[in-house]
Amino acid sequence: MSTIEASPEVGHDDHGHDHDHDHPAFLAHHFDTPEQQFDSGKLGIWLFLVTEVLFFSGMFCAYAIFRALRPEVFEGCSQFLNTKLGAINTGVLLFSSLTMAWAVRCSQLEQHKGLVGTLAATLSCAMIFLGVKSIEYSHKWGMGLLPAGLFAYDPSNPHPTDHPNYLMYICIPFAIALAGVLLWLVVSAGLGNKMHVAMAMPLTVVCLCFFVGVGLGMVLESGDETAEHIDVHADPNGLASAPVMLEAEKAAAAEAAPAIAASGAMVSVDESVLEILAGDASNTGVTSGLNALEQQNAAAGTSTITGDEAVVGAITTTEIDVMTPTTAGVFFSIYYCMTGIHAIHILAGIGVLVWLLVRAVRLDFNRQYFGPVDYVGLYWHLVDLIWIYLFPLLYLIR
């Protein structure tokens, strides 16, 4: 009987692994081949994206639940979101996805200058996005359109002037970043360190792009101010005056009713007329027609109706003010949660993209090792995709 101390050589001698020149610098010790490393990373990032989707899914659920519970709040409040700014941001993010995909291609083809350029373009788009977003946020904070607990919107005074300058607070960190990068650029240019200049130059442009975004947002927001004012004012003020109008119309129509009813040729029948006609219990068709009209009115006028109530007088008695913290606030809660966490993801994306840019300047990537660019690209596309869902859900559906 003999005991073999099973040394590692036993069994697989014929493979002829030689770990010294088989292992390039970028290959971690526990992987056998670059392919295995790449596949692991790719599966890892996909799984991470799955967790991200599930993370956001909680908020999409909350959106669905509260939209179903209070559709009128969502319709009314989404009027406050500036579709133009949302659309600009959507375009900017879509373009950044293009440059990101391009960057992945550049890294695969070892086009180092192109890689740095496309990464910088992606970063710039991200910064423009945040710049526009900061205009949107600061504008809404100024108007008091905040989550339920902090909601302070006053329809009679939609633009109070006694609030702090929110925009400035948002801009300060970016201004500091810009100053820092500029300093870096100047110092490294002064020292003649070409690599650091190559890193700091695109980053300076990137930081400047935040202020480009702010400027763009400002122009659009002020250009849209009048249009939005009409929207904003028409909505709550219209609401407030709606019952009054109806009463007046009713009074006027009551006199004219017999004549109209007699002629019967009226195509667009006034609601108050119908109401009088519905007073006749046998007139079921008119009653249900009025019900439908009333529901449309209620939906359009962001008031709620309770189905079982007596028809007559329902419109005036169930009128509620939706511009209160407890109702309107829910929309802005969800809006800030979703866009806020999305913005945090953009910030995280900016972080990893800067890291990629630094590595790209150091020529770390080659046709065998471009994994990190690919993974960050996937992450960036997901962040983009989430915005593609957020934009219609929050801005467009009315």
Partner 1 sequence: MSAGSLPSDSQVRDPGYPTPSENYLTNSKGILSWVFTLDHKRIGVMYLVGVTLAFAIAGLLALLIRLHLFQPDGFVFKGEEANNWYNQVFTLHGAIMVFLFIIPSVPAALGNFLVPVMLGAKDVAFPRLNLCSFYLWVFGALFFVSALCASGLDTGWTFYTPYSTTTNSSVILATSGAFILGFSSIFTGLNFIVTINTMRPPGMTWFRMPLFLWATYATSIIQVLATPVLGITLLLLIAERTMKIGIFDPEYNGDPVTFQHFFWFYSHPAVYIMILPAFGIISDLISVHSHKRIFGYRFIAYSSIAIALLGFLVWGHHMFTAGMSSLTTIIFSALTFTVSVPSAIKVFNWLATMYKGSISLTTPMCYALSFIFLFTIGGLTGLHLGTLATDMHLHDTYFVVAHFHYVMVGGTLVAFLGGVFHWWPKMFGKMYSEFGGRLSAALVFAGFNLTFLPQFVLGSRGMPRRYATYDPEFAFLHQMSTFGSMLLGFGLLVALIVLVKSLRSGKRAPANPWGGATLEWQCTSPPPFYNFERAPSVGDPYDFSDLEWDAEDERYVKVEPKREIVPEEKPEATPVHADDSN
Max CA separation in the chain (angstroms)? 119
171 and 134 Cβ atoms separated by less than 8 Å: yes
* Integer Cα distance of 182 and 200 in angstroms: 7
Sign of the C-alpha dihedral computed for residues 140, 145, 147 and 151 taken in this order? positive
We find the least distance from the C-beta atom of residue 397 to partner 1, in angstroms, to be 19
* Integer Cα distance of 221 and 135 in angstroms: 8
Nearer to partner 1 (CB atom), residue 1 or residue 265: 1
We find the least distance from the C-beta atom of residue 123 to partner 1, in angstroms, to be 25
Nearer to partner 1 (CB atom), residue 268 or residue 306: 306
Nearer to partner 1 (CB atom), residue 55 or residue 169: 55
Tokens of 116: 């740095």
Residue type present at position 85: L
Nearer to partner 1 (CB atom), residue 100 or residue 330: 330
Residue type present at position 52: E
We find the least distance from the C-beta atom of residue 336 to partner 1, in angstroms, to be 8
Cα torsion for 334, 296, 234, 257, to the nearest 10°?
-160
Q: 248: Cβ–Cβ under 8 A, 6 or more apart, which residues? A: none
* Distances in whole angstroms, Cα of residue 304 to Cα of each of 138, 187, 307, 332: 31, 64, 9, 19
We find the least distance from the C-beta atom of residue 60 to partner 1, in angstroms, to be 10
We find the least distance from the C-beta atom of residue 271 to partner 1, in angstroms, to be 30
* Integer Cα distance of 212 and 207 in angstroms: 9
Closest Cα partner for 143 from 234, 237, 232?
Answer: 232
Residue type present at position 267: V
Nearer to partner 1 (CB atom), residue 5 or residue 162: 5
Nearer to partner 1 (CB atom), residue 20 or residue 255: 20
We find the least distance from the C-beta atom of residue 12 to partner 1, in angstroms, to be 5
We find the least distance from the C-beta atom of residue 235 to partner 1, in angstroms, to be 20
Q: Is 144 left (phi over 0), alpha (psi -120 to 50) or beta?
A: left
We find the least distance from the C-beta atom of residue 11 to partner 1, in angstroms, to be 5
* Integer Cα distance of 92 and 86 in angstroms: 10
Nearer to partner 1 (CB atom), residue 106 or residue 146: 146
Compute how many other C-beta atoms are within 10 angstroms of the C-beta atom of residue 107. 28
Nearer to partner 1 (CB atom), residue 60 or residue 95: 60
Nearer to partner 1 (CB atom), residue 131 or residue 325: 325
* Integer Cα distance of 174 and 152 in angstroms: 28
Q: Is 210 left (phi over 0), alpha (psi -120 to 50) or beta?
A: alpha
Nearer to partner 1 (CB atom), residue 36 or residue 157: 36
Question: What string of H, E and C letters represents the secondary structure of 223-247?
Answer: HCHHHHHHHHHHHHHHHHHHHHHHH
We find the least distance from the C-beta atom of residue 333 to partner 1, in angstroms, to be 3
Q: Is 33 exposed, middle or buried (0-12, 13-18, 19+ CB in 10 A)?
A: exposed
Q: Which residue has the tokens 């820092």?
A: 180
Residue ranges binding partner 1 (CB under 8 A) = 1-6, 8, 11-12, 15, 17, 28-30, 32, 36, 39-40, 43-44, 47-48, 50-52, 54-59, 61-62, 65-66, 69-70, 146-150, 325-327, 329-330, 333-334, 336-337, 341
We find the least distance from the C-beta atom of residue 295 to partner 1, in angstroms, to be 22
Nearer to partner 1 (CB atom), residue 9 or residue 255: 9
We find the least distance from the C-beta atom of residue 43 to partner 1, in angstroms, to be 5
